[in-house]
Amino acid sequence: MAGWHYVRSGSSVAASTEVLELGRQVYAIQCASCHGANLEGQPDWRTPLASGRLPAPPHDESGHTWHHADEMLFRIVKEGTAAIVGGSYESDMPGFADTLSDAEIRAVLAFIKSTWPERERGFQEEVSRRR
């Protein structure tokens, strides 16, 4: 991918320090207000709010982000959860297509993934490979 910088780390390819720093900055500005400064999500994130919508989930290993393939994660950030789930699903998660470039979206996802323990990273890499 043009503009992407990767380094080989063991048997997997990891994002470069520059990409991870960009992702950290984007996360702090665009994501942390809902998903938490430490990727912890909102309290009781599995329990619907009075609006019927779910609170923002954590993006650390205690959440479910690592269960999804790269392409699905990218689309959720770019288009918003409701656009991906479809039907009458409602979500407070907006799409960021008008706010973030594709490279910024991929950088924030690389940053989030860099915080996961090896087991979760490995699982998510395998799910992404199968898609």
pLDDT tens digits, 31-80: 999 999 999 999 999 999 999 999 999 999 999 999 999 999 999 999 99
Max distance between CA atoms of the chain, in angstroms, equals: 46
Classify residue 67 by its DSSP letter. G
Structure token digits, residue 36: 């938490």
Query: What is this structure's pTM?
Result: 0.87
Q: Which of 77, 66, 85 is nearest to 127 (CA)?
A: 66
SS3 68: coil
* pLDDT (tens digit per residue) in 77-97: 999 999 999 888 999 999 999
Show me where the domains of the chain are located. 6-130
**What CATH code is assigned to 6-130?**
1.10.760.10
